[in-house]
Amino acid sequence: MRIFAIAFAATLVAGTAFADEQVIKLKPGAGLDKVEANCQACHSLSYIPMNSPFLKPAAWDAEIGKMIKVMGAPIDEADAKAIAAYLKANYGG
């Protein structure tokens, strides 16, 4: 019975945490699938619209390079180019 009570309490806590999670809808466009597949594997997609007022097209290249070289994101070259093109076209500041 005690295990059931603990499991029930954990379910309530987890349900509350998921209820507060915001769904991020990025602008549609070529490369969005690559962004969703690669970027949200490590962080929320909310960073994209949140940072877009500050990042010009060249800065997106630097950000993608940082994610790959410094943070170790396993993004292949073709996906990196598609991600960069998408971000520049849709969130180029």
| Per-residue pLDDT reduced to its tens digit, 16-28 | 455 566 788 999 9
CATH code for the part of the protein at 25-91: 1.10.760.10
Q: What is the pLDDT of residue 92?
A: 87
> Tokens at residue 24, please?
């991020």
In 3D space, the residue among 8, 27, 11, 31 whose CA is nearest the CA of residue 19 turns out to be 11
How is the chain split among helix, strand and coil, in percent rounded to 5? Answer: 60, 0, 40
Enumerate residues 6+ apart whose C-beta is below 8 A from 80.
Answer: 64, 68
Supply the pTM of this predicted model.
0.75
Q: What is the pLDDT of residue 83?
A: 98
Q: What is the pLDDT of residue 58?
A: 92
Q: What is the pLDDT of residue 23?
A: 85
Q: Could you report the per-residue pLDDT of 76-89, keeping only the tens digit for each?
A: 999 999 999 999 99
Instruction: Give the residue-averaged pLDDT of 58-70.
Output: 96
Contact yes or no for 32/40 (Cβ under 8 A): no
